Chain A
């Protein structure tokens, strides 16, 4: 299969089988990070560029470590250090990077659709490391891996509650798509201003009351709330937001006894999650971070090495657009 056709742009449309293969591969790589010598030769001679047009510490570091543990040459570029700071367009910067023949570009960008745009401009593999409010598929995959490690039941028997700024969250979208594909029940909770009704159309149940949302949940995923949302009147104050949506011990008590609590970070202690919960026994936040490296190793390996076990040609490519999209029916 052609290397140029292999991207991970989002989890929408990715099959349960392909997700499972990726999680299995990641699982087999988890132990590498526990070794004395944390390195495999799998991607020796391959080049991975982390092209981060939006700030990130966790994701960028995670990708960088993942690439290096597979012996790839990995470099990271941020928007402030790239020519985009001098007014170069995203397209031109991308073309210049592509001219240096990387095998994979990992892109983070504040505009929804940027990863897909990049995939149309360059001919190496593209991994979406977060595009605006659209998707953050590797975060969702590492969340799925973390959930799978802790929960032995079938996906269809799991209730996952995601709480917070759903409408602006790429983490929520990717998790929603991935979890629904696998068959889990997904509950979304937040104030109506941050939780449009349209999410029902993607198979989610909507809640405006966090107590009901976490009732008997197996997994609770809290999302970071951004201060900027106050300025646009999505809610009056962080204080009032916390009053209704902060996950504290009392709310956790309504969930299943073996509930696990995830957060993609960085966390706002006392706003969306109380310190006692973030640092408490149900929290798997640090496992998420550790799994992130293994998951990204698995992904880089499978995208960059043609014919890598278990990944078929178009599996990770966004579904092809049907002919003449958007044409209104006319009889």
Chain B
């Protein structure tokens, strides 16, 4: 495996040849060559039709470097709109550099990072720090998400405007649900001025107080305190009503229960500005993964039942759930190797996003085009960022992957600084072979 970072200059021209392009925005789904110049897509054509010599680069001729994409899918780089990069403040778990490197290893070329750092990203200076660090690292594009409330305390609204000017693409108190309905109402209203979504972590603090997993058969058997589905759905219901009242843009993070999926489905049918994302663990794992007090199966919202897993899959299939986002949440070993009650919530996501998501294609829930839509264009639309397509003129962020290649995940060799994955030792199918950001190869997998 080798990686280069973006400080390597982009070649003036580059041809990605012979791959199967899946670009939902243009509707292309077939064999196409992609020509890139100065970090942007300049031409997409049938195999062999793009001659760099006759396009915008006279004089380059046959010297244009070629990436052989035969047998691979070529897609817009994935946009993971829900990650925790942990910097500033928790660099022992992950840094912006290690997190974005894990991103590109997973085919993710853009990440939106949550505000629960220390200090909290509730002001423009922290926003700017994160953006600078992301640029310095030179792997994935980093789009910070600002806090809804100062210090994530759920009391006073943070300065959305100044943070937007500094570069945030959304606001969220992720990890700390906004309990105060009045604050949520104002946030949805005020955010309209900047046309940014308010991303909500739906967890009723009273119903979920002290709980560590889904409430149900497994929690009853293990003697662990459970979070009922209602702990999520009552908040989703509240926020949909507030979105209706305010006409604000509401985005439901990591939706996990059947009731919530149905509420979003109805809200969309009514035409409300409500979107949603789901994490791969919520459509691959059930609550029984906690058996044996497996702290790598501890996250919020919790793993739920087979019925909920099916609802999330159906929600992704019919577009009720717009996007797949990982909620990449690195934690140090010591925060996971401990009593279950004490263990931190959350798991790694970036490096397993593609193979886990491909399971839904293989099982017939999603077409490949719909999968790529959920991984790139959909989150780009929600965040209002110009990513997620390989139309001529677009930034050349792309991923080349082999959907059939099998490999075994080994936690110890993951790119992230942390190791907290429930998928250690799992046979995976689908491998990112190369990732380009702005026309530069930032990740290349070699066997």
Q: Are B285 and A326 in touch, CB under 8 angstroms?
A: yes
Task: With A201-B217, A326-B422 as known contacts, state yes or no: A112 contacts B287, CB within 8 Å.
Answer: no
A115 and chain B: residue at smallest CB distance: B293
Interface residues of A in 172-204 (CB under 8 A from B): 173, 196, 198-199, 201-202
Contacts of A131 in B (CB 8 A): 223
Contact B297 A89 (CB under 8 A): no
Say if the beta carbon of B303 comes within 8 Å of chain A.
yes
When chains A and B are docked, how far (Å) is the Cα of A202 from the Cα of B222? 12
Beta-carbon contact of B223 and A173 below 8 Å: yes
User: Is there a chain A Cβ closer than 8 Å to B407's Cβ?
Assistant: no
Chain B 186-221 residues near chain A, CB threshold 8 A: 215-217, 220-221
Tell me the interface secondary structure of chain A in the complex.
Answer: loop
Q: How far is the CB of A289 from chain B (nearest CB, A)?
A: 24
Residue of B nearest to A111 (CB): B339
Give the contact-size bracket for chain B: 35 or more
Given contacts A201-B217, A329-B306, are A111 and B342 in contact (CB under 8 A)?
yes
Taking a contact as CB atoms closer than 8 A, the residue among A110, A198, A330 that contacts B363 in the complex is: A330
Query: Chain A: how many interface residues by the 8 Å CB criterion?
Result: 36
Q: Is A69 an interface residue (CB 8 A)?
A: no
B224 at the A interface (CB under 8 A): yes
A326–B359 CB distance below 8 A: no
Among candidates A117, A170, A199, A327, residue contacting B285 with C-beta atoms closer than 8 Å: A327
- Which of A23-31, A43-51, A132-140, A218-226 is the contact stretch? A132-140
Cβ contacts B280-318/A at 8 Å (1 or 0 each): 000111111111111001000001001001000000000
Is B334 an interface position by the 8 A CB rule?
yes
A331 to B287, CA, bound (A): 19
Question: Known contacts being A327-B285, A328-B284, is A198 close to B217, with CB within 8 Å?
Answer: yes
Contacts of A112 in B (CB 8 A): 222-224, 293, 340-341
Q: Which of chain B's residues has its CB closest to A320's CB?
A: B292
Indicate if the CB atoms of A135 and B223 lie closer than 8 Å.
Answer: yes
Within A274-331, the residues touching B (CB, 8 Å) are: 318, 321, 324-331
CB neighbours of A198 from chain B (8 A): 216-217, 220-221
Does residue B337 face the partner (Cβ distance < 8 Å to A)? yes
Given contacts A112-B223, A133-B223, A198-B216, contact A325 B338 (CB under 8 A): no
Distance between A192 CB and nearest chain B CB, rounded to angstroms: 13
B359 partner residues in chain A, CB cutoff 8 A: 330
Counting CB contacts under 8 A, is B426 at the interface? yes
> Within 8 Å of chain B (Cβ to Cβ): is A90?
yes
With A90-B338, A133-B224 already in contact, the answer to whether A328 and B426 are too (CB < 8 A) is no
Q: Are A113 and B339 in contact (CB under 8 A)?
A: yes
Q: Is A68 an interface residue (CB 8 A)?
A: no
Interface residues of B in 309-352 (CB under 8 A from A): 309, 334, 337-342
* CB <8 Å contact, B339 and A328: no
Contact A328 B341 (CB under 8 A): no
Q: How far is the CA of A196 from the CA of B218 in the complex (A)?
A: 12
Complex Cα distance, B77 from A189, in Å, reads 57
Of listed B225, B283, B287, residue having the most chain A CB within 10 A:
B225
Instruction: Determine whether the beta carbon of B290 is less than 8 Å from that of A326.
Output: yes
Interface centre among B222, B223, B290, B340 (most CB of A within 10 A): B223
Q: Which residues of A contact B426 (CB under 8 A)?
A: 324
In the complex, what's the smallest C-beta–C-beta distance from B7 to chain A, in angstroms? 40
Check B224–A116 contact: CB distance below 8 A. no
Cα–Cα distance between A133 and B215 once the two chains are bound (Å): 14
Which residues in chain B, 337-382, are within 8 Å of chain A measured between CB atoms?
337-342, 359-360, 362-363
Q: How far is the CB of B366 from chain A (nearest CB, A)?
A: 12
A173 cross-chain contacts in B, Cβ below 8 A: 221, 223
CB distance from B443 to the nearest CB of A (A): 27
Closest A residue, CB atoms, query B334: A89
Known interface pairs A113-B222, A133-B223; A328-B337 also in contact (CB < 8 Å): no
Tell me whether A116 and B293 are in contact in the complex, defined as CB-CB below 8 angstroms, given that A326-B288, A327-B284 are known contacts: yes
Distance in Å: Cβ of B334 to nearest Cβ of chain A: 7
Is A42 close to B, CB under 8 A? Answer: no
CA distance A62 to B9 in the complex (A): 73
A117 touching B338, Cβ below 8 Å: yes
Q: Does A12 contact B (CB under 8 A)?
A: yes
* Contacting residues, chain A, for B293 (C-beta < 8 A): 112-113, 116-117
Partner of B287, one of A114, A167, A196, A326: A326
List 10 A–B pairs whose Cβ atoms lie within 8 Å, in order of A's numbering: A112-B223, A112-B341, A131-B223, A133-B225, A326-B288, A326-B290, A328-B286, A330-B359, A330-B360, A331-B363
Q: A112-B341, A326-B290, A326-B422 are in contact. List 19 more A-B contacts (CB 8 A).
A: A109-B339, A112-B340, A113-B293, A113-B340, A116-B292, A132-B341, A133-B225, A134-B222, A134-B223, A196-B215, A198-B221, A321-B292, A325-B289, A325-B292, A326-B288, A327-B284, A328-B285, A328-B286, A330-B362
